[in-house]
Amino acid sequence: MRADRLVAALLLMQARGRLTAAELATELEVSVATARRDLEALSAAGIPVYPQAGRGGGWSLIGGARTDLSGLSSNEAQALFLLLGPAAAVVPEAKSAMRKLVRALPGTFRADAMAAADAVVVDSAGWGERLRERPEMAKTLENVIVRRRKVKLTYVNRGGDSSQRLIDPWGLVDKDDVWYLVAGTPKGQRTFRVDRIADMTVTDIEADRPADFELAQAWDQVVDHVEHARSLVSATVLVDRKHVHVLRDHFGRHCTMEGEVDDGRARVRVAAPVPMMIAQTLAGWGNGVEVVEPESVQAELARIGSELIERYGASPRGKEPSETVRN
């Protein structure tokens, strides 16, 4: 897009001081004629750029002038980077655009803008739970993270017990519509589910944040820890090749294709925290899957099968099925 090229040309002149049409053409991967037209368009639009002919000449900003592109306010810059930050993790063009915008912003805005860009990570791979609506608390926390203020939380754990916490909010993660807050505490880094925050009070105390903290890297460590706990037991199963994708839907990232066998089935490795959880997931497949190993999962399947037979296996002798439900 031409608008992208014009912005890039302007930023390159800011960074280098002087730029020839040939150098710009190389940077933007366009023809020299196109680069020259872009430079002339900047000048015609009122941007203070001018050409200097002769040896060592080129295009430059008059008097070393600089621009903040559109006169963004601090709040506008923060809002823009809140949107760009998550996209930059998965879209190379967004990361490139963010770098350009950072250089273009006034120096007083850059710190807040970068804090906003690092305030949210989007992780689309689910852990089996979904909250369809984004919590209002997440919106409030975004602002607190950018402002760098400590907050007092009333947090309810999985068992229903509540506690008071004074924390340093570092970043938010949207994982398949379930939001998590990564924060600093007196006991080190902790992760809180946003939907379990019963109450929150923003203080006037500046939050502490490690200079080398990177939200994406911190979240990767959280995921590694959780996924390890969720894959302590693995099993090898055989399933029809055309049903492997269904098995993947059940086990997510804990389902790995290991190969194929001659009878048209695939050898798949699945994992879960305990043998019972693997067996419970596979029991509904009936003879559609075969567990090769381990014996612990086979034993759990046998136990589930025995319980089902005991409850549903046969009608009382001498009675029709319909008679078994009469009072």
Q: Mind listing the pLDDT tens digit for each residue in 64-94? A: 545 444 455 555 555 555 555 555 555 555 5
Average pLDDT over residues 258-269: 91
Counting the structural domains of the chain, the total is: 4
One domain, residues 140 and 194: yes
One domain, residues 100 and 177: no
pLDDT at 262: 87
Cα 134 to Cα 25: distance, rounded to the nearest angstrom: 45
227/22: higher pLDDT: 22
- Which CATH number characterizes residue 245's domain? 3.30.70
- Which CATH number characterizes residue 151's domain? 2.30.30.100
Residue 218 forms part of a structural domain: yes
Residue 327 forms part of a structural domain: no
Question: At 318, is the pLDDT very low, low, confident or very high (cuts 50, 70, 90)?
Answer: very low
Question: At 292, is the pLDDT very low, low, confident or very high (cuts 50, 70, 90)?
Answer: very high
- Which CATH number characterizes residue 10's domain? 1.10.10.10
One domain, residues 190 and 129: yes
Residue 319 forms part of a structural domain: no
- Of 187, 208, 228, the position where a domain reaches its end is 228
pLDDT at 152: 95
One domain, residues 244 and 276: yes
Residue (of 314, 290, 295, 301) closest to 238 by Cα position = 290
Range of the domain at 239: 230-312
Question: At 107, is the pLDDT very low, low, confident or very high (cuts 50, 70, 90)?
Answer: low
pLDDT at 183: 94
One domain, residues 99 and 171: no
One domain, residues 250 and 307: yes
Q: Mind listing the pLDDT tens digit for each residue in 29-43? A: 888 888 888 888 777
- Of 228, 243, 273, the position where a domain reaches its end is 228
Average pLDDT over residues 193-221: 90
Q: Terminus-to-terminus CA distance in the chain, angstroms?
A: 77
Residue 106 forms part of a structural domain: yes
Residue (of 252, 188, 177, 173) closest to 220 by Cα position = 173
One domain, residues 144 and 167: yes
pLDDT at 13: 76
Evaluate the omega torsion of the peptide bond into residue 51 and state whether it is cis, within 30 degrees of 0: no
Residue 322 forms part of a structural domain: no
pLDDT at 27: 83
- Of 165, 199, 228, the position where a domain reaches its end is 228
Question: At 297, is the pLDDT very low, low, confident or very high (cuts 50, 70, 90)?
Answer: very high
Predicted confidence (pLDDT) at residue 142 exceeds the cutoff of 50: yes
One domain, residues 87 and 146: no
CB atoms within 10 A of CB 271: 19
- As a whole number, the mean pLDDT across the chain is 78
Average pLDDT over residues 88-104: 59
Predicted confidence (pLDDT) at residue 326 exceeds the cutoff of 60: no
